[in-house]
Structure 1
Amino acid sequence: MSGLAMFGGPRAVPAELASEEHVGWPVVTDAERAAVVDVLDSGRFTSNQQAGEVQALEREWAEYVGAPHCAAVVNGTAAIELALAAAGIEAGAEVLMPALSFIAGAVAAVHRLAVPVFVDVDPVTFTMDPEATRAAVTPRTQAILAVHLHGLPCEMDALRALAAERGLVLIEDAAQAHGATYRGRRTGALGDVATFSLNVVKNLPTCGEGGLVTTGDADLHRRLLRYRQFGEDLQGRRRRDYLSHVLAGNAKISAVQAAFTRCQLARLEEYRRARERNVESLLGRLRELPGFVPPSCPPDRTHAWHIIRFRLDPAALDHPDLAPGALRAVAERALRAEGVPVMRYQTLPLPEQPAFRSRDGFAGGYPWRLPGACSAPYRPEDYPRTLAVIEDSLTLQRWHLNPAAGSVLRRCADAFEKVWEHRDELAAAARAMDDRQAIS
């Protein structure tokens, strides 16, 4: 086998192979172009029109996930915030969520003056651990925000039982899990209310930003629609009356975005099946490389494979003395040199984010300053499994979303095998890195 590219050898993944045709995302076709032009020609641009693209997207997405109701909104973060509002989460209440996640869910809670309470994750699924969630419940807890991280559904039966036992609202954050299933049911129909992102990098994208909220509760859906547009009630009305029934802002999605997403939705299952084949082929080869620990999917659910996270195990690489972080850093450098765009995803647990350590930037320290609200500082060390996952893992993002990515992923597998064959060189580089850090 040739030498590592970072030491002068040839790349395993030629740059010209990683073309827009093979790894570009989203895949934009003539269908999207025609749909957008049709909206421009129609003059029906917003969700105010009662029979437009927005309403069609809502109907189609509700039918796809198996939920009675859907509301399309401006982005995934707004979807979570509106779900919290429509569910009646009170100021100063606590919302449980995983310590390993994107910050959007925590920010949405803060914007509703709710206190984010973080829980540790399962080290294999990377989703919130039900037992850690149970241990975090207090008399002030009102909701669980179950994040289907990377596209794998949480252990929803256990979370559902806990929510029912303690009278909590169960909210799915399915921003990365379009089309994934848990015990035969799709994400979006597993909790009291569910939120999705339509950001351009998501498995179901729009041409920019967008979000969807699904629920089986008709009253909650009605409240969502009010919170989407200044507290107004537009259902069944031919014209606006400009009466605001609740204090709310503007979170509407445009008809252009909805039309684009409807085209993507028509191909979602086709792309999902192709992605599953391509990713499984890659992971099958990684499973043959001790020390490179690929993600897995429990047999009772399916994975949307929005992000592929793998961990590095120094002991399984026959170098148990190596610091996991040093090994991960050197492996990242080696794989990127081979042409595989691996990277870290979330370099800090949420409770260690500067915004949550300082509690700056939202009305001078609220919601933590509210009477009776939990004001204890967040301690990253309380989430050891999250810290370990962040320290020793890398992710592959976006390249595998394109259904034509199979040939590129085969070259990526070649790169992993090449790096694995040179693991002793990686170990030496990792030790040198450790030594330099110790001296400094």
Structure 2
Amino acid sequence: MTTTAKELTVTAPSVPVRRRAAEVLAAFGGAPAVPRALRNLPWPVITDADRAAVTAVLDDHLVSNADGETAVSRLENRWAELCGTPACVAVSNGTTALSLALAALGIGPGDEVVVPALSFVASALAPLHQLAVPVFADIDPVSFTLDPDSVAAAITPRTAAILPVHLHGQPADMDRLGALAARHGLAVVEDAAQAHAATWRGRPVGQLGDAGSFSLQVTKNLPTCGEGGLVTFTDAAVGARARTVRQFGEVIEPGRDRDYLSHRLGWNHKMSSVQAAFTLSQLDRFPAYEAARQRHVAAFLDRLRSLPGLIPPGVVPGSTHAWHILRFRLDPAAAGLPGVTPGALRRAVHRLLQAEGVPMSRYQIRPLPEQPVFTDRVGFGGGVPWSYAAPAPTPPTPVTSAVIDDSLTLQKRHLHPDAGPALERYADAFEKVWANLPTVASMARAR
């Protein structure tokens, strides 16, 4: 299917780009730098092709276990080909994708799984769902992904797997993490929920470990019409096991009547054909959208790199970034603001940018090991799975804490293929705020 220029532009607001209208900050009565039409670009972009794909599948197989080819099997085959893996299993959401991957690899009661302290909570809940214990390691301050040195310190005789998260679309250091896993005989499950099409050393994520889990939730770079997930496997036999686990532990084979026999512990993690059909249609346009995103984000970040004390996200050499989320760190000393703490600067900048119309937000407000589900350790009752073996005390994760304290994120608005004009205005707003650093400093000190 080819993508027309009309499909790429039909839903994008058209507002002429201009530089700062006034130096007076919007929080103090000035004109906002970003017009309302550019503050909330729609995502996903839904076209007539998407609607036709969903309508067409209503007359086809609606479930994944139907005999013969389905939209689900077509999506699995296309994603496996794109990731260069022998197997892909479609599931109901990104969290079940992680749980299914761990289950297929035999991760279970009493095992430990090393996960980053900064991620969406599903990264650490998935081991719990398998009665395994999440053990938290710190992150790299630049890539925001697992720090291999911290992972090495977290490995114990009970460690069974490492779960690197390609956070915000930046692949983790899979060379060093893979070497650690090989040295200790550990499984590697990539959490690539935010990293569709990202690469490490020329290889796509999803083929860099034993399994790769992707989310198709509606906010993701490759979405479905609600919730969905994909899991890739580098061993076809493990992929076949996952397919069994996905549906009640049954063996479902084309041309063979269903016998309703469960051969192992399984769940109902199936994806519907409606979800798959929508994603297949989106996948037709995914390369064009991804190329546009790369251009627009690069131009946006280039404008901001000269602002003192603002640290835009970068790309680790040898990798490509999917730019699902843009995280900006703030450094008061580099901004020439003595006596201002990073958290105070972040709060002041957050307020001022939002007043200018830039939809900045925070992604996670507390490290995962400090969330109640992991500190209270109720689990399945009686402290299970922690009670299987006395776990070591959770080590501090100072880099994660610092990143959460001093950073803000831009989410979803830049995903639209015509986000260029909006990002130009967002850059205007950043420059306007930085032109008023004395005011920013006064606000930060007052707070």
TM-score bucket of the superposed structures, by smaller chain: over 0.9
Aligned residues: 425
- Quote how far apart the aligned CAs of 1:414 are: 0.2
Contact 1:58–1:71 (8 Å) recurs in 2: yes
SS in structure 1 of the partner of residue 88 of structure 2 = strand
Q: Which residue of 2 aligns with 1:408?
A: 422
Q: Could you list the runs of 4 or more consecutive aligned residues of structure 1 that deviate by over 6 angstroms after TM superposition?
A: none
Partner of 2:154: 136
Q: 1:298 to 1:361 in 2, by over 3 A?
A: closer
Query: Which of 60, 64, 76 is matched with 1:47 structurally?
Result: 64
1:395 aligns with 2:409: yes
SS in 2 for 1:272: helix
How far residue 83 of structure 1 moved from its aligned partner, in angstroms, is: 0.5
After superposition, the C-alpha distances for 1:109-161 in whole angstroms (9 at most, x for unaligned) are 00100000000000000000011111111000000001000000000011111
Cα offset, 1:182, TM superposition:
0.6
Shift of 1:299: 2.2
1:65 Cα deviation after fit: 1.1
Work out the CA distance in 1 between the residues paired with 2:255 and 2:262: 14
Aligned partner of 2:172 among 142, 150, 154:
154
Question: Which amino acid in structure 1 is aligned with residue 394 of structure 2?
Answer: Y
| SS in structure 2 of the partner of residue 9 of structure 1 | coil
Residue 4 (structure 2) aligns with: none
Aligned mates of 2:255, 2:364 — CA distance in 1: 45
Q: Which runs of 5+ in 2 are unaligned?
A: 1-21
How far residue 237 of structure 1 moved from its aligned partner, in angstroms, is 4.0
- Give the superposition deviation at 1:216: 1.5
CA distance in 1, matches of 2:194, 2:291: 16
State the match for 1:438 in structure 2: none
CA distance in structure 2 between the aligned counterparts of 1:237 and 1:246, rounded to whole angstroms: 22
User: Residue 71 of structure 1: CA displacement?
Assistant: 0.2
Q: Percent identity?
A: 59
- Asked if the contact 1:99/1:119 (under 8 Å) is kept, the reply is yes
Instruction: For residues 31-90 of structure 1, give each alpha carbon's deviation from its aligned partner in whole angstroms, at most 9, with x where no partner exists.
Output: 110010001122x10111231100000000001111111000000000000111000013
d(CA) in 1 for partners of 2:95, 2:419: 29
2:236 to 203, 218, 223: 218
Equivalent residue number for residue 6 of structure 1: 27
Q: Which of 303, 306, 311 lines up with 1:285 in the alignment?
A: 303
Whether 1:331 aligns to 2:345 is no
Q: Given residue 47 of structure 1, which amino acid in structure 2 is its aligned partner? A: S
Q: Secondary structure at the match of 2:164?
A: strand
Residue type of the alignment partner of 2:377? R
2:369 to 348, 351, 354: 351
Contact 1:86 1:220 in 2 (8 A): yes
- The 8 Å contact of residues 357 and 378 in structure 1, kept in 2 or not, is answered as no
Is the CA contact 1:357–1:377 (under 8 Å) kept in the aligned structure 2? no
CA drift of 1:218 comes to: 1.4
Q: Is the 8 A contact 1:151 1:178 kept in 2?
A: yes
Distance (Å, rounded) in 2 between the aligned partners of 1:17 and 1:85: 43
Unaligned runs of 5+ in 1: 434-440
TM-score normalized with structure 2 length: 0.93
Q: What displacement does 1:373 show?
A: 4.5
- Equivalent-residue separation in structure 2 for 1:321 and 1:158 (angstroms): 38
Instruction: Check whether the contact 1:74–1:210 (CA below 8 A) recurs between aligned residues.
Output: yes
Counterparts of 2:327 and 2:381 in 1: how far apart (Å)?
36
* Aligned equivalents of 2:43, 2:37: Cα separation in 1: 17
| In 2, Cα distance between equivalents of 1:217 and 1:226 | 15
Match of 1:166? 184
SS of residue in 2 equivalent to 1:170: strand
Q: Distance in 2 between matches of 1:235 and 1:329?
A: 56
C-alpha distance in structure 2 between counterparts of 1:364 and 1:236, whole Å? 43
Corresponding residue for 1:437?
Answer: none
In structure 1, the partner of 2:436 is 422
User: Given residue 98 of structure 1, which amino acid in structure 2 is its aligned partner?
Assistant: P
Report if aligned partners of 1:206, 1:257 keep a CA contact under 8 Å in 2: yes
Q: How far apart are the structure 2 equivalents of 1:312 and 1:48?
A: 50
Q: Structure 1 CA distance, aligned partners of 2:166 and 2:427?
A: 26
Counterpart of 1:146 in 2: which secondary structure?
A: coil
> Contact 1:93/1:373 (CA < 8 Å) preserved in 2?
no
